[in-house]
A = this chain, B = another copy of it.
Amino acid sequence: MAKSVNSRKPTYAFLGPVGTFTELALAQVKNAKNANHLPVSTVSEAIDAVINGSAFRAIVPVENSIEGGVSATLDALANTTDIRIYGEYLVPITFNLVARPGTKLADVKVISTHPTAFAQCRGWLQENIPSHSHLPATSTAAAALDLLTDSPLADAAIAAKSITDHYKLTVLAKNIGDNKNAQTRFIEIGLNAKPTKASGKDKTSVIVELPEDRPGALLEMLEQFAARGVNLSRIESRPIGDQLGRYRFNIDAQGHINDDAMAEALMGLHRFSPKVTFLGSYPRADKKNSKHEGNNSNKEFSSAESWLNKLRAGR
């Protein structure tokens, strides 16, 4: 359950209810430790909470999500200019099968969970409960919570292993996901503000549209990064939505907007692309170095600028 709101503390919205994977991401956010936690149902609500001020920050899934994530988040971010990313967090995806105390595995026929979670446990279910049926829920936690109502619709739920920290439920089977290494990446979003300081282990996210459908435009766009030694860690096309065949690219690049190399790459994109949305520069979850390839450190940028100025002055 969300702690009661204390108006002197900041509020962090998250895809709730308690017990979701998003809450596990929230638990990693340092500044959220003693803050108010506000569960919301959709990514849009989370963004709205930030925009209308009812939350200072929101935690939403962005990649390989179980709770409603990826496209919803990417598309919502593409359609607002008021939101920036301030951090990212990785949550291992571990599913448990839970039920009301007293239930035995042999009794389980109807299983409730979010459709995506269901899909990710299909192997285990077919082997262990071949004759189950699926009752979809809006989140893994909602499925678990429903078990505790007076007339539960399902016999068991698939939920994050943290669910039993919140509810009196029994674990019938542990770690039943088909992919034991599954992870979800979550981001912390807030209103536009100065990016957190460059740490040398940073990531910058942008959304870039390509100029008309000219062949080679994607290559040209990538060269804006390559020419300044900026490495990409992710690129994903998403339909723009106005007409078929037009895509925008969600890009995570290594480095910080305050790095000279990244700044020049971003300005290059701004000239090249009909629309670039800067989503933020923030510390990498994996804490790896974000040095630029080649001779593209700030020091080397400064030295090139001094050289240019001397030439322009005729020296």
A311's partner among B215, B234, B257, B293 (CB-CB below 8 A) is B257
Q: Which of A199-244 contact B (CB under 8 A)?
A: 215-216, 218-219, 222-224, 226-229, 231-237, 239, 241-244
Closest chain B residue, CB of each to CB of A238: B236
Closest chain B residue, CB of each to CB of A193: B314
Question: Which residues of the other chain, B, contact A289 by a CB distance below 8 angstroms?
Answer: none
- Number of identical monomers bound together in the oligomeric complex: 4
Binary contact readout A297-315 vs B (1 if CB under 8 angstroms, 0 otherwise): 0001101110110011111
What separation, in Å, do the CA atoms of A174 and B136 have in the docked complex? 26
A166 at the A/B interface (Cβ < 8 Å)?
Answer: no
A: interface residue count bin: 35 or more
A272 at the A/B interface (Cβ < 8 Å)?
Answer: yes
Contact B179 A241 (CB under 8 A): yes
What separation, in Å, do the CA atoms of A132 and B301 have in the docked complex? 50
A9 at the A/B interface (Cβ < 8 Å)?
Answer: no
* Whole-angstrom distance between the Cβ of A280 and the nearest chain B Cβ: 9
* Whole-angstrom distance between the Cβ of A40 and the nearest chain B Cβ: 13
Contact B226 A219 (CB under 8 A): yes
Given the known A-B contacts A278-B311, A293-B215, are A237 and B234 also in contact in the complex, defined by CB atoms under 8 Å?
A: yes
What separation, in Å, do the CA atoms of A304 and B44 have in the docked complex? 30
Question: Which residues of the other chain, B, contact A5 by a CB distance below 8 angstroms?
Answer: none
Given the known A-B contacts A215-B293, A237-B234, are A195 and B312 also in contact in the complex, defined by CB atoms under 8 Å?
A: yes
Given the known A-B contacts A181-B243, A235-B218, are A119 and B72 also in contact in the complex, defined by CB atoms under 8 Å?
A: yes
Contact A64 B239 (CB under 8 A): yes
What separation, in Å, do the CA atoms of A138 and B284 have in the docked complex? 36
* Whole-angstrom distance between the Cβ of A297 and the nearest chain B Cβ: 9
What separation, in Å, do the CA atoms of A54 and B12 have in the docked complex? 50
Tell me the interface secondary structure of chain A in the complex. mixed
What separation, in Å, do the CA atoms of A171 and B194 have in the docked complex? 49
Contact A305 B257 (CB under 8 A): no
Closest chain B residue, CB of each to CB of A305: B267
Contact A296 B271 (CB under 8 A): yes
A244's partner among B183, B216, B271, B301 (CB-CB below 8 A) is B183
Binds B, one of A18-26, A95-103, A155-163, A258-266: A258-266
Contact B219 A223 (CB under 8 A): yes
Given the known A-B contacts A301-B271, A304-B267, are A223 and B222 also in contact in the complex, defined by CB atoms under 8 Å?
A: no
Given the known A-B contacts A219-B219, A219-B222, are A272 and B294 also in contact in the complex, defined by CB atoms under 8 Å?
A: yes
Q: Which of A24-64 contact B (CB under 8 A)?
A: 41-42, 44, 63-64
Closest chain B residue, CB of each to CB of A278: B311
What separation, in Å, do the CA atoms of A264 and B266 have in the docked complex? 13
Contact A115 B68 (CB under 8 A): yes
Q: What are 7 A-B pairs at a CB distance below 8 A?
A: A181-B242, A181-B243, A218-B222, A257-B311, A264-B264, A270-B303, A270-B308
9 extra A-B contacts, CB within 8 A, seeds A44-B122, A245-B286, A263-B308: A44-B119, A84-B314, A179-B241, A192-B314, A226-B227, A236-B237, A267-B307, A267-B308, A278-B311
